Structure 1
Amino acid sequence: MYVVATFEQSLLLELAITELEEKGVDKQNILAIPLKVTMKQAKIMDTINSADGISVFDGATVLGSGLMVLGVIYGYVFTWGPIIWGLIGLAAGFLIGLVLDLMFRKTKREYRASKSDVVVMISCSEKQFDWVSTVLENHNPKGIGMIRD
């Protein structure tokens, strides 16, 4: 029987593996595989098939439409009229929103790069399954599963 668990790379993972070894699981029966973190390139627009949640276009359109509305409203007071001031507000808001999105996206990317996961696979007998899964559950795994031979 195999017990499979996923953990974030942390001290809790090391403590779980050490406790399993102390309770009688051989080192040859424990397999820990760190997963490589992949960085996705941000896209201008999300599509139906690939929405990564970090689209650069979203904030620019929101700020652009907001400043466009203000330009149209106050354009009645200014000399060029509401249409020209609406277009100026649209362009200015879009550029400001694009710059802000690009700045905040860099900080999100650094935060995502720091997390990595580890898959732990333990070969044990059915008698050992209960306490092996209990030891793993006590050390905050993301998930636990089992495979029977």
Structure 2
Amino acid sequence: MQLFSTFETTSYLEMAISTLEKKGIKKESIFAVPLDNRKEERKIFDTLHRSDGTSLIDIGMGIGTAFSVIGASIGFKLAWGPIYWGLIGAFVGFVLGFAIRLFMELVVKKNKRGMKGKHSEIILIIDCEESQVELIENILWSHFALGVAKVK
């Protein structure tokens, strides 16, 4: 039987391996594989098949609505009337809000666009007998494994 677990690169991984060896698991039965992390920049604009959950038009819609109301209100006194000035205000507000959000994503949040939270860096594969599975699983969880899976 094989157990797969994922860890961050910490001293807990080393302690888990040494604890497994003390409990009778041979060195030949423990296999650690480091993962390559993403090196390329994450894309800002979403496609039809991929979305990162970040919206670029949310601020633009809010500011566009506010500017359209202001434009329509002021438009009663201007030559083109409230409808044209409301549409002009909506367009200007949307473009301004979109530019603000794009600036925030490109400049302010550039470092935060990487992977958020904890991510796996090492996969630990352990060959063992079925009688040892529960012991090994408890050891892995107690040493802060991010995930554990069993395969017969």
Q: TM-score range by the shorter chain?
A: 0.7 to 0.9
Counterparts in 2 of 1:2-81, with a 5 A limit? 2-38=2-38, 39=40, 41-47=42-48, 49-54=49-54, 58-59=55-56, 61-75=57-71, 76-77=73-74, 79=78, 81=85
CA RMSD of aligned residues (A): 2.5
Structure 2: segments with no counterpart, 5+ residues: none
Q: Distance in 1 between matches of 2:117 and 2:135?
A: 34
Amino acid at match of 2:14: E
Most deviating of 5-14 and 103-112: 103-112
Q: CA deviation at 1:10?
A: 2.0
SS of equivalent residue, structure 1 residue 25 = coil
Aligned CA distance change for structure 1 residues 142 and 111 (closer, same or farther; 3 Å): closer
- Equivalent residue for 1:92? 96
Q: Name the CA distance, whole Å, in 2 between partners of 1:125 and 1:82.
A: 73
CA contact (8 A) 2:46 2:52 kept: no
Q: Distance in 2 between matches of 1:42 and 1:65?
A: 22
How far apart are residue 99 of structure 1 and its match? 0.8
Number of equivalenced pairs? 143
Distance in 2 of aligned mates of 1:42 and 1:93: 20
Q: Quick check: 2:42–2:113 contact (8 Å CA) kept in 1?
A: no
1:19 positional shift: 0.8
Length-normalised TM-score, structure 2: 0.77
Shift of 1:128: 2.6
Deviations 1:6-62 (A, max 9, x none): 222222212111111222222211101111112463141242x322335xxx23x11
Highest CA radius of gyration, 1 or 2? 2
Within the alignment, does 1:138 sit opposite 2:135 as a pair?
no
* Alpha-carbon distance in 2 for matches of 1:36, 1:99: 30
Specify the SS of the correspondent of 2:124.
Answer: strand
Greater shift after overlay, 72-81 or 84-93?
Answer: 72-81
Is there any run of 5+ residues in structure 1 with no aligned partner, and where?
A: none
Residue deviations 1:72-129 (CA, integer Å, cap 9, x gap): 1111226573332222212211111111122344122345498442111112223333
What one-letter code is carried by the residue in structure 1 that aligns with 2:26? D
**Residues 52/85 of structure 1: CA separation in 2 closer, same or farther (3 Å cut):** closer
